[in-house]
Amino acid sequence: MKVRMDFVTNSSSSSYLIAKKKDGQLSQESRNRLADLLIRKFLDSATVIEDLTDENAENHEMIEYKGKSIVENAVDALKNGFQIAEGCIIRDEGDELADLLSEVFKILEDDEAYRVIDDDLSY
How would residue 31 be classed by pLDDT, with cut points 50, 70 and 90?
very high
The Cα 55–Cα 114 span in angstroms is 47
How would residue 26 be classed by pLDDT, with cut points 50, 70 and 90?
very high
Bigger pLDDT: 115 or 2? Answer: 115
Q: Per-residue pLDDT averaged across 13-18, rounded?
A: 76
Nearest to 15 by CA among 80, 97, 96, 112: 97
* pLDDT tens digit sequence for 39-69: 887 667 778 878 878 788 777 776 666 677 7
The Cα 19–Cα 35 span in angstroms is 21
Our CA dihedral for 62, 63, 66, 68, rounded to 10 degrees, sits at -160
Say what the pTM is.
0.51
* pLDDT tens digit sequence for 102-118: 888 888 888 888 888 77
> Which pLDDT score, from 0 to 100, does residue 91 have?
54
Nearest to 87 by CA among 38, 32, 36, 33: 38
Q: Measured between alpha carbons, how far is residue 73 from residues 47, 51, 52, 87 in Å?
A: 18, 17, 13, 17
The Cα 38–Cα 19 span in angstroms is 21
* pLDDT tens digit sequence for 71-83: 778 888 888 888 8
Residue 1 has pLDDT above 60, yes or no: no
